[in-house]
Structure 1
Amino acid sequence: MTIELEQRLQSVAERHTHNPHDLSIIWEACEILSALTREDQMLPWAERALALDPHHADFRAMRASALNLVGRHAEAADMLAHDLSTSGESAIYQLRLGYSLMMAGDLAKAIPLLDEVRQIADSTHVRAEAESLLGQALLKAGDPRGFAHWLMRSHSGDAYSYRPPDIPEWTGEPDLHGRRVLVTHQLGFGDNFLLAACVADWRAAGASVMITCAPQIHQLMQASLPDCEVVSVPSPMQSYAPLPEAVQASVQAFAPDLHATLLHLPLLKACHAVSGFRFQAYLRAPSEKQQIAKEWAQQLRVQHPGKKLVGLFWDCRQRHMPELGSIARCWAARRSLPLEMLDRITTNPTVTGRVQFVNLHHPLVEAQAGTPAGDVSRYLPGIFHFDDTAACVGELDAVLAVDSAVANLAAMMGKLTCVPVNTSGDWRWGTRGTTTPWIEGATVLRQTHEGDWDSVVQDAATWLITQ
């Protein structure tokens, strides 16, 4: 099917060359790109159409969407604001504008607009999406009250979670003494590493906790949460999925009287703290994996005497997976550091004279991530699951990782962590300066222009030299 669509797209492009004023040809090209989940590539086609018909609503919407996908959020916001002022469109246009403003960093405008949309929207879906985005915007602004709104992501996005029947959901009560709470996981590995730090708050409030997690992180989470029961279960593929039969016996034996999702975890503390909320480091590899890593690190330090060991992670795998859709793929691409930019770090003689780098990518994705230039070691015991990654990270002096599960892992291990981010980085990395209000000790290096990593690479080299 993909080959057939590619052939059709090539044919449409040839027809457009001979008849550039035919909007139906341009429309067909956009339909094919949508079928190929390459909506970001609609941008030049939409602009060709708008050159012929500047007020065409569908092509204007396509252009705004494509601008957001490639990170040109301020341009998308300007376009949507103009369309909203001239057409008087409903809440859906306000929602799109609020998203673009938030991603462009204009939180002063985004927050009240998204708050208005969630109150006036007739559609349940639009209302849920607006509240989820409002939560993200507040969190970007460093306001922990955003967690209460971000919870709505369970209803608006892809934050699927299990929902066991006949177990009441936690409704915010702060005193949990004597309560047995089942926490079901959702979102990605990085979110699990970050948000599960809040389990300590639930334990301090008196709760006994059973938490589910994906098999890839089970050993790591079990070692890191010794006071909890940690259950391995595949991630759910739909909202409110029933618990798999394989774990139902364990859950019944635990006998929970409350259920919460991963997104609920920060609320216990955040709803009582307007400022000063921090995620505290807690992750650690299993002891047997720690010993293996210690022996490996000792050998590597002998080979590179006097040098610091620094882990590298630069490529988000999702950018190579078109089946995930254009939003996930484009977001992963924008978060990834191009290999040629990484090479400027790994071949910088001032840096390499002081640092020995270690590749933190899983061996199965190295072919897609590419091989950096210079002398970059591998973790020779092998990275199979995240407990191996954690064991390796535990023996390093620092980690340089783009916004990814590895960056969250290193930060939640308390490891010196430097995170290069794009112009609209995730809320957890803050919005300005080299720090984040959410994670103590993490250094954030920010793009000043979308796609331009030059200054970030220079700052990363300086960070590596001065640590």
Structure 2
Amino acid sequence: MADQAQFDTVRQALARRDFDEALRRLGDPSQDVEALALAGLAWTGLRQFDRAAACYGAALRLAPDRFDLMSNLGSVLVDLDRFGEALALFQQARAVAPRNARVIANLANLLDFAGALDDALVAHAAARALDPADGEIARNQAMTLLRAGRLAEGWPLFEHRRRAVDPTEATVPRLPPLAGAPSLMGRRILLFHEQGFGDTLQMLRYVPLLAASGATLVLRIPPPLSRLAAGMAGVAAVIDIDEAPGPLDYQAPLMSLPLLFATTLDDIPATPYLRADPVDAAPWGERLAGLPHPRVGLVWAGSPEGGLDHRRSMPFADLAPLFAVPAGFVSLQIGPAAADWAPPDGAAALNAAPWLHDFADTAALLSRLDLLITVDTSAAHLGGALGRPVWMISRFSACWRWLTLRGDSPWYPTLRVLRQPYPGRWEPPIAEAARWLAGGAV
């Protein structure tokens, strides 16, 4: 049996997200409940859900009354699409520990995943009432509110998403809410990237609105976005993540701008706000010359670093019905999944990945295509921000920004959402896209 000092070093490794080190220090946890529980956390962090479930299950057999093990196992079973078993465990855990906030929050997350948003919000509220200081519970409640279209209630709670502090936040005042704010004329404001590429692309829509107030805007964003963002009106400078911004009057995370603008479903700034550089776009005329219209871009996978990538990405082979439609197909896929590009013999197809070095390059290509068909990744945001036609193939439990039971998006008027009817089932939305494409819906 391991001692407390060993467990402390494992917990420290887990806090650093060094999951391999945590497992190495645990050794064989098979006969110790606490070691099995910690191993479950490590395997979950590595997204090895089968192994995590095995650890939690073994721990629960040794300690059948541990509600935390029931709840953690239930969460892993959700990732394995074993929803009935997960619900039973959450209900069992709640019966054992009716006033444990995390147990109720995990039940709320499952209800949210299933689309039972009203029930999920009741459970979220109950969890927060028990532990109002738990930021993760508040953040998950926020995402359910946003998914339900209750943006005014969701944005303030969404501030609990903040996990890391940008260096400027300690010394520079936060940009205040814009309603009734002092004049921003001549004020120098830093807006910084904090989450994924798609999140930043979505929130760049607020840059022209801030620039119209007379502010001088500095963007701190990753290099792949720099050239594209530098072309936006009102951007005085684009700096790298670790670059000093110089003197500032205010700062704000880009993802906080909907809160500061008090955005609701009725007033989302949704006109196209990014543009492709005509110089970058010109070479695509020759590269695409051999492809018939409609010319359709394809992206079937997101970054494997994304926490929900196992849900939002699909195998390339699942796109096969599209290739039965007369069209020209262009791969915009980058990252490890780009190697899976294998259009059928005789298809009019082009792999554009070798020419795509940043988002400005991708924007240039999109400006010359008739349509983009993509999973929920940054390409969907880029196409929508450019005002290009986008058909987004969404996982069953869609990201909050795509709301629920809608085939359109108030964030991007040119984007259609095709949703999985069941978790893991890509065939129906792909078949629908193929029918639309064959019917000339582009």
Name the TM-score, length of structure 1 as normaliser.
Answer: 0.78
Q: In the alignment, is the contact (CA less than 8 A) between 1:135 and 1:150 conserved in 2?
A: yes
Partner of 2:225 in structure 1?
A: 217
* Among candidates 281, 292, 304, match of residue 291 of structure 2: 304
Partner of 2:49 in structure 1?
A: 40
Deviation at 1:165, TM superposition (A): 4.4
Partner of 2:249 in structure 1?
A: 257
Q: In the alignment, is the contact (CA less than 8 A) between 1:33 and 1:39 conserved in 2?
A: no
Partner of 2:312 in structure 1?
A: 335
Partner of 2:283 in structure 1?
A: 292
Would you say how many aligned residue pairs link Structure 1 and Structure 2?
412
Superposition map of 1:441-456 within 5 A: 441-456=414-429
Deviation at 1:343, TM superposition (A): 2.3
Alpha-carbon distance between aligned partners in 1 of 2:67 and 2:137, rounded to the nearest angstrom: 22
Deviation at 1:283, TM superposition (A): 1.7
* Among candidates 278, 283, 287, match of residue 274 of structure 2: 283
**Aligned AA for 1:417?**
V
* Among candidates 67, 83, 88, match of residue 77 of structure 2: 67
* SS of equivalent to 1:101: helix
Bigger share in helix: 1
**Aligned AA for 1:384?**
H
Q: In the alignment, is the contact (CA less than 8 A) between 1:144 and 1:277 conserved in 2?
A: no
Partner of 2:113 in structure 1?
A: 103
Deviation at 1:397, TM superposition (A): 0.3
Q: In the alignment, is the contact (CA less than 8 A) between 2:373 and 2:391 conserved in 1?
A: yes
Partner of 1:359 in structure 2?
A: 331
Deviations 1:361-415 (A, max 9, x none): 1276522x45343533122771111111111111100000000011111111111
Alpha-carbon distance between aligned partners in 2 of 1:227 and 1:114, rounded to the nearest angstrom: 40
Name which of structure 1's ranges 356-365 and 33-42 shifts more when overlaid on structure 2: 33-42
Gaps of 5+ in 2: 1-18
Q: In the alignment, is the contact (CA less than 8 A) between 2:396 and 2:421 conserved in 1?
A: yes
Partner of 1:92 in structure 2?
A: 102
Gaps of 5+ in 1: 13-22, 235-243, 319-323
Q: Quickly say closer, same or farther: Cα 1:90–1:70, change in 2 above 3 A.
A: same
Partner of 2:259 in structure 1?
A: 267
Name the TM-score, length of structure 2 as normaliser.
Answer: 0.82
Residue 155 (structure 2) pairs with residue 147 (structure 1): yes
Partner of 2:239 in structure 1?
A: 232
Q: In the alignment, is the contact (CA less than 8 A) between 1:315 and 1:336 conserved in 2?
A: yes
Deviations 1:39-63 (A, max 9, x none): 4113356557768876553542332
Q: Quickly say closer, same or farther: Cα 1:3–1:171, change in 2 above 3 A.
A: closer
Alpha-carbon distance between aligned partners in 2 of 1:34 and 1:370, rounded to the nearest angstrom: 35
Alpha-carbon distance between aligned partners in 1 of 2:41 and 2:260, rounded to the nearest angstrom: 42
Deviations 1:247-306 (A, max 9, x none): 32xx32xx42111111221123335x4634354321222332122234433x2xxx234x
Alpha-carbon distance between aligned partners in 2 of 1:261 and 1:3, rounded to the nearest angstrom: 32
Superposition map of 1:416-431 within 5 A: 416-431=389-404
Residue 144 (structure 2) pairs with residue 171 (structure 1): no
* Among candidates 291, 307, 315, match of residue 301 of structure 2: 315
Deviations 1:317-344 (A, max 9, x none): 31xxxxx5xxx45x10110112221123
Residue 370 (structure 2) pairs with residue 397 (structure 1): yes
Question: CA-atom RMSD, angstroms?
Answer: 3.2
Alpha-carbon distance between aligned partners in 2 of 1:74 and 1:202, rounded to the nearest angstrom: 48
Deviation at 1:445, TM superposition (A): 1.0
Partner of 1:371 in structure 2?
A: 342
Deviation at 1:151, TM superposition (A): 2.0
Q: Quickly say closer, same or farther: Cα 1:116–1:4, change in 2 above 3 A.
A: closer
Q: In the alignment, is the contact (CA less than 8 A) between 2:33 and 2:63 conserved in 1?
A: no
Alpha-carbon distance between aligned partners in 1 of 2:54 and 2:192, rounded to the nearest angstrom: 43
* SS of equivalent to 1:24: coil
**Aligned AA for 2:281?**
Q
Deviation at 1:229, TM superposition (A): 2.1
Partner of 1:19 in structure 2?
A: none
* SS of equivalent to 1:172: coil
Superposition map of 1:6-45 within 5 A: 24=31, 34-36=41-43, 37-41=46-50, 42-43=52-53
Alpha-carbon distance between aligned partners in 2 of 1:357 and 1:75, rounded to the nearest angstrom: 42
Which structure carries more relative contact order (alpha carbon 8 Å, separation 6+)? 1
Partner of 2:124 in structure 1?
A: 114
Deviation at 1:30, TM superposition (A): 6.9
Deviation at 1:109, TM superposition (A): 1.8
* SS of equivalent to 1:396: coil
